[in-house]
């Protein structure tokens, strides 16, 4: 199995499972796949974060906001692995409750990963909400 194949398997299993758990109100699996090394950052659809403390605060906010995930699909558009670094770009389709209210939405997301101790870890996430017209929400 090539590095690309192994990374793709990780995206389709570990990363996907972490995102489903987050949208069910449990950020622990996402925490487990995030880097503990600086820099880490989130430019998020819900909030931004820079550094470990703010990333943890963002995870706490998200797990308190989300529940009852009924659908999660990551539509991978592009990815690559370059040694101990990788990236993904795609669309995240989600149906979950936010603050107790059912919602369905799509996020356009790009993530940067680095291999640490032989395991992939997320170092950066950028996501924004896509409207029906395909433009970021609010524009």
- Domain map (residue ranges) of the chain: 3-130
Q: What is the pTM of this model?
A: 0.91
pLDDT in tens, 8-47: 999 999 999 999 999 999 999 999 999 999 999 999 988 9
| Fold topology of 3-130 | Nuclear Transport Factor 2; Chain: A, (3.10.450)
Q: Is the dihedral of CA 51, 111, 136, 139 positive or negative?
A: positive
Of 80, 84, 75, residue with least CA distance to 123:
84
In this predicted structure, the answer to whether residue 73 has a pLDDT above a threshold of 70 is: yes
Of 107, 124, 98, 113, residue with least CA distance to 43:
124
Of 40, 8, 60, 13, residue with least CA distance to 123:
40
Tokens of 110: 């790009």
pLDDT averaged over every residue in the chain: 94
């Amino acid at each position: 199995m090539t590095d690309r194949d192994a990374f793709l398997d990780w995206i389709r299993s570990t990363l996907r499972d972490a995102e489903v758990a987050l949208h069910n109100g449990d950020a622990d699996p996402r925490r487990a796949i995030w880097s503990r090394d600086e820099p880490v950052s989130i430019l998020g659809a819900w909030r931004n974060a820079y550094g470990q403390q703010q990333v943890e605060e963002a995870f706490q906010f998200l797990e308190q906001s989300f529940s009852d995930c009924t659908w999660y699909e990551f539509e991978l558009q592009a990815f690559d692995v370059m040694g101990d670094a990788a990236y993904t770009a795609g669309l995240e389709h989600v149906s979950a409750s936010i603050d107790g209210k059912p919602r369905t939405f799509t996020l356009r997301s790009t993530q940067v990963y680095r291999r640490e101790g032989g395991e992939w870890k997320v170092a950066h996430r950028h996501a924004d909400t896509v409207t029906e017209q395909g433009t970021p929400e609010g524009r």
